[in-house]
Structure 1
Amino acid sequence: MARKSAIPPSYYGEPHKFDPTFRGPVHHRGCTDVLCCVIFVIVILGYIVLGTVGELRSLTYASAERVVNKAILFYFNILQCANPTVLINLQCPTTQVIQTLFANYLSFCLSWIALYLALYASLSFLFTPAVCIQVGITSLLDAKEVGIKIFEDYASSWFWILIILIGVADLSLIFILLLRFTAGFLFWMVIFGVIAALGYGIWHCYWEYSSLKGKPDSDITISDIGFQTDFRVYLQLSQTWLIFMISLAVIEAIIILVLIFLRNRVRIAIALLKEGSKAIGCIMSTLFYPIITFLLLAICIAYWAVTAVFLASSGDAVYKVMSTLPNCKYTNLTCDPESNVTKLCPGSQCTFAFYGGESLYHRYIFVLQLCNLLVFLWLVNFTIALGQCTLAGAFASYYWALRKPADIPPCPLASSFGRALRYHTGSLAFGALILSIVQFIRIILEYLDHKLKGAHNAFTRFLLCCLKCCFWCLEHFIKFMNRNAYIMISIYGKNFCASARDAFFLLMRNVMRVAVLDKVTDFLLFLGKLLISGSVGVLAFFFFTRQIPVIQEEVPSLNYYWVPLLTVIFGSYMIAHGFFNVYAMCVDTLFLCFCEDLERNDGSPSKPYNMPPGLHRILDKTDQAGKKYSVS
């Protein structure tokens, strides 16, 4: 099979050569990026030490001296409150320091804690306790009633929510497995639907334009009337519909031309989507790997939150004078809560401000919080990288198996996980660190943007906006490159830099295929998420509103039917997103293997392709039509 390139192969690296001994992911490999691995382990140990510093009791255990005369402060031991008896009785068994007017405050906070726990159980969402501070009595009582009713709705509907979400998981699995038969049909059906819709839009715009052309005042241009808050004014102008018609015609022409000139690459993308469905069918265990990723991410997030609270609560309580009078010169000065500060200014009081101290440690609390955030981002990105590398190794072993599924090695997912963790912890940590630094800078820029909201310096705001845009693009590019670098690491076992370079050159030698496959995959997966969450949401709406006569008697009585409904919709989307992430990783891995297969082999008996028959037939048809496959 002749394949020529418009760009010299050396410009984007040399294509891979034929290797008769290559049979998929390399088993005999060595450790990569050892120095980064050592640094990563040291940082984790330091992070553990950092998490043990602080005085969490300052927030969870209140002494009577600190809360005397504080009518709207609330303290309780959240560790002892987090047990099943609290969820039943809505009352914490620990001693509370609270005034009579706020006797029901505890049940309010615990009802919201129960709500978060219910969300965690039904949506696999992260439980993060809220910090309850300073609310008015009236709004507090109203919020308490709403919170209790919401908790009651979850208590009475959690069983049905769980059944629906289990059904969503089954539906997502069935959708992925059926893509081997329906991927092409879904894609072309929607594409032709879009073309038909654009055609109707062009006709409608032409009809409106013809109808308005002879009417008085319809030939006024948009520039003549200027900006109008009532946009219906523009619809009375013939020029508006002319612009709409031209715009839709241009979009329609672009879509048709793209389909004409890239139809073969679209067919390859659809074939890869079908093959991805077959690969998941052969390695079903990959669909459950996101559970491991979720558990690791939950640990990282929980440890980060606890460490942040520990750091924030370190030191002694600092009190400052607060006065309702604007001219009190003692405002914001430190004070003693036992002193009578009303003598300084009428209406003043000694109010808790923050925790702090004079030691070197307390002076650098903010720096430690930044370190806590950076290490947290590093751990999160490492966890995601470990999952991507593990899945890529499993799917690569599927592609390079000459006879599928007979030649697939046993336990491909477990073997890939072991290789990634044993040999490539340093490489995964290296890629995760690069991405974490960019994300850390983005967070700082967002913080500065928030602080400079009221600034009138136009140049500073413009510069900050440009930096945010640049780092947003950089973050997405690094995510894309890291993802493909992890695929190459899982196959060849090279270090991160070498794998990223090989992946970049391979993608650039197949840049048009990359663009087409990426868009086709994103389109079908978005369509699948929308289809699953939308259909389940509609079904849940009819169920919880008692509009399905067959099971009308089984529906629990609810205060707000939208509570389980929104839970089901959001949970359906998140479950579908988890399944489809595995599928997207599968397609990306198969695509890189496919590109390498084209470079290594030529389809002859001495150099046979490893690609599945569907892709092979597409290549054969292309050759018979006289097409020449370009590596670009």
Structure 2
Amino acid sequence: MILAETCLDPPDADPACTLARYNQKECSVVCKTKRVQKSVWEVEETTPNPMLEQLQGHLQLLGRFVSDTKAAVGLILLVGGAGAMVLGVLWLVILQFFAGCMIWLTCMLVVLILVLMSLFCSVRSGIINSEALEGLAFLNGMNTSGAIDLNSNALQAIDNASDRLQFKAAAYVLWVLTGIFLLLLLAMRKRIHIAIAIIRESSRAIKTLPLLLLWPVVPTIAFVLLVMYAVTIAAYIMSSADISSVLESTAALATASTGSTSSSVAAINGTLSEIPSDKIQQVLLVYHLFGFLWTNQFFHAISICTIAGSVAQYYWTPPDGNNRRKLEARFPIARALRNVFRFSLGSLCFGSFIIALVQLLRILLEYVDHQTKELQQGNRFVKVAFLPVRCCLWCFEKCLKFLSKNAYIFIAMRGNSFCSASVASFKLLFKNIARVAVVNSISFFLLLLVKTTITLTVAGVVFVALSNASASSQLKVLGAEPVTSPMAPVLVASILSWLIASAFMNIYDAAIDTILLCFCEDTELHGEGSSEFMSPELRRIMGDTGSKPKVVHVGLATSVTKSGSGGGGEPGGNKVHVDNDEI
């Protein structure tokens, strides 16, 4: 209800004088702006509603999250997007020059952590008393500033006998693990040097092929389009009307086509049946889900094979005196992609089909597990039976992905079919299982460290920028507005930077795996240290024999003839070959 009206512009005009009334000449001056006093009636609950209040609280929290993210979207894109890309490139340079220092420093930190944990459990269990602990030289050196209180309760033996026994068992286990790890470091030092050299060589490969860093954009766009298509088709299936299906025999159709009504009815008698629409929808959804999984794995296979083909061209090009490799192809990435579509699509389809089939089985198992929850409550055998099956399928999928990835790399390197590439790559990796284990372990922890560092750096920069008043005022250039809390922008920027860092490191991981497989194949063909394709660092580690293989350049890869110790091979012997076309 309107209680009062006052015209503000112009002040002396009639507040009821609108433009329509002015055009009809009912008033002389139009009121452009007016102040209106109204009485507002509100409906309030007389009894509290906890669910409604909780929902309103969650909605308000979500609203603040969205508004804060929108207010800082410029900063998020700058730091979480572009900043993460710059940090990713910077880390690739750092890994090329300081990979050895980082890897050995990480190993020493692991040893130090194991020793400290072993000492802690030994003291708590009473194996080492506090007086003996004070006599340790390195702890006394650490305690010069008073940072460690050797007489604190945490470093005293506990009185409870059962707890002391548990700490004693943990202490023995940790000391054994420390000794095993030290022995492994001593025994694996040559393989660790090989891993460092392979990681450095992967950095040089990406430096030679800088456009590889943009490759994740292609599979990402393909995946987004695939998800949009899958969601749309799934919505069509779920929203479809009742579907009835009639099963007719071939004889009935043939008889009906001749126009004989009586024989047609006799032929189809007893063959008509109807399938419930929900069953049809379930079958269609399963079929559609399998198509989505298969296509997704197919895109992933194309991506891996393209990266591997590009890096394989780099490795199978002999380095010059300055350890630089001049590729024959002008556009190696386009050449690798062309070779995938020209020679390897069938192999990639078959490999992705197997992985998608296992993934579908896992999803169906989870669906059955969800549908039989009530049965599992009354039957512990059924509940326990699902656990090993689920675990076995998970392990089988992981092993299959590992073997398929190396098979894709071998396909890009040699042009084999999927089955032969799987067998050949497995034999090659099994012969070099120690090297593969060391390289994969080191690269996994190293790349995880890089991704975590990039994410934490981006999160810290965004938090400081939004928390600092002077920095926030300077961010107005980016369109940033004040936020109620920096947590939402920090979370979004962290997720974005993690995705970008993962995309960079996935390229790097694929390059490491490709260089490793090429290196194993190279040593298989030419022996230890006698290959012209190895970098000088790898030849020095492997022990250069001085003999060089005969090299014949044939397009994408390089045909090499086995030579050196053990009798020189003849031309046309063992070869690495993909095709001889050029782009």
1:497 to 419, 423, 438: 419
Deviation at 1:200, TM superposition (A): 2.1
Q: Distance in 1 between matches of 2:339 and 2:487?
A: 46
Residue of structure 2 in register with 1:124 after alignment: none
Query: Is 2:513 the counterpart of 1:588?
Result: yes
Change (3 A) 1:146 1:316: farther
Change (3 A) 1:359 1:255: closer
> Which residue identity lines up with residue 614 of structure 1 in the other structure?
E
> Which residue identity lines up with residue 184 of structure 1 in the other structure?
G
Deviation at 1:533, TM superposition (A): 1.1
Give the 3-state SS of the residue equivalent to 2:317 in structure 1: coil
Q: Distance in 2 between matches of 1:572 and 1:509?
A: 38
Query: Is 2:496 the counterpart of 1:571?
Result: yes
Residue of structure 2 in register with 1:149 after alignment: 64
Change (3 A) 1:148 1:213: closer
Deviation at 1:614, TM superposition (A): 1.1
Deviation at 1:602, TM superposition (A): 4.1
Q: Distance in 1 between matches of 2:79 and 2:161?
A: 45
Normalized against structure 1, the TM-score is what? Answer: 0.64
Question: Quick check: 2:466–2:472 contact (8 Å CA) kept in 1?
Answer: no
Change (3 A) 1:273 1:557: same
> Which residue identity lines up with residue 597 of structure 1 in the other structure?
D
Query: Is 2:357 the counterpart of 1:431?
Result: no
> Which residue identity lines up with residue 356 of structure 2 in the other structure?
S
> Which residue identity lines up with residue 435 of structure 1 in the other structure?
I
> Which residue identity lines up with residue 560 of structure 1 in the other structure?
S
Residue of structure 2 in register with 1:385 after alignment: 301
After TM superposition, list the pairs within 5 Å mapping 1:408-423 onto structure 2.
408-423=328-343
- Deviation per CA, 1:471-526, whole angstroms, max 9, x where unpaired? 10110011001101111111221211111111111111111111111111111111
Residue of structure 1 in register with 2:468 after alignment: 546
Q: Distance in 1 between matches of 2:127 and 2:521?
A: 58
Q: Distance in 1 between matches of 2:235 and 2:538?
A: 55
Mark the runs of 5 or more structure 2 residues left unpaired by the alignment.
Answer: 1-42, 44-49, 131-157, 244-273, 547-564, 566-583
- Deviation per CA, 1:319-338, whole angstroms, max 9, x where unpaired? xxxxxxxxxxxxxxxxxxxx
Query: Is 2:83 the counterpart of 1:160?
Result: no
1:617 to 535, 540, 549: 540
Residue of structure 1 in register with 2:388 after alignment: 466
Residue of structure 2 in register with 1:599 after alignment: 524
1:174 to 84, 90, 95: 90
Change (3 A) 1:139 1:513: same
Q: Distance in 2 between matches of 1:240 and 1:462?
A: 29
Question: Quick check: 2:312–2:413 contact (8 Å CA) kept in 1?
Answer: yes
After TM superposition, list the pairs within 5 Å mapping 1:118-137 onto structure 2.
none
> Which residue identity lines up with residue 610 of structure 1 in the other structure?
F
Give the 3-state SS of the residue equivalent to 2:416 in structure 1: coil
Give the 3-state SS of the residue equivalent to 2:185 in structure 1: helix
1:519 to 441, 453, 473: 441
Q: Distance in 1 between matches of 2:76 and 2:129?
A: 56
- Deviation per CA, 1:103-147, whole angstroms, max 9, x where unpaired? xxxxxxxxxxxxxxxxxxxxxxxxxxxxxxxx9765554444333
Percent of residue pairs bearing the same amino acid type = 30
1:204 to 113, 116, 120: 120
> Which residue identity lines up with residue 425 of structure 2 in the other structure?
A
Q: Distance in 2 between matches of 1:274 and 1:581?
A: 16
Deviation at 1:420, TM superposition (A): 0.5
- Deviation per CA, 1:385-443, whole angstroms, max 9, x where unpaired? 00000000000000000133323422111110111022211111110000000000001
Residue of structure 2 in register with 1:394 after alignment: 310
1:443 to 345, 357, 363: 363
Mark the runs of 5 or more structure 1 residues left unpaired by the alignment.
Answer: 1-100, 102-134, 215-231, 318-357
Normalized against structure 2, the TM-score is what? Answer: 0.69
Give the 3-state SS of the residue equivalent to 1:559 in structure 2: coil
> Which residue identity lines up with residue 619 of structure 1 in the other structure?
M
- Deviation per CA, 1:442-471, whole angstroms, max 9, x where unpaired? 011111222233322222222211111111
Q: Distance in 1 between matches of 2:490 and 2:424?
A: 47
Structure of higher RCO (CA pairs closer than 8 Å, 6+ residues apart): 1
2:185 to 259, 284, 287: 259
Change (3 A) 1:575 1:314: same
Deviation at 1:158, TM superposition (A): 0.2
Query: Is 2:200 the counterpart of 1:274?
Result: yes
Query: Is 2:230 the counterpart of 1:304?
Result: yes
Change (3 A) 1:367 1:492: same
Q: Which moved more, 1:403-412 or 1:420-429?
A: 403-412
Question: Quick check: 1:381–1:435 contact (8 Å CA) kept in 2?
Answer: yes
Count of aligned pairs: 432
Residue of structure 2 in register with 1:368 after alignment: 284
Change (3 A) 1:237 1:481: closer
Question: Quick check: 2:301–2:352 contact (8 Å CA) kept in 1?
Answer: yes
Could you say what the CA RMSD is over the residues aligned between the two structures, in angstroms?
A: 2.8
> Which residue identity lines up with residue 459 of structure 2 in the other structure?
G
Please say which structure displays the higher CA radius of gyration. 2
Q: Distance in 1 between matches of 2:406 and 2:127?
A: 54
> Which residue identity lines up with residue 582 of structure 1 in the other structure?
I
Q: Distance in 1 between matches of 2:242 and 2:163?
A: 69
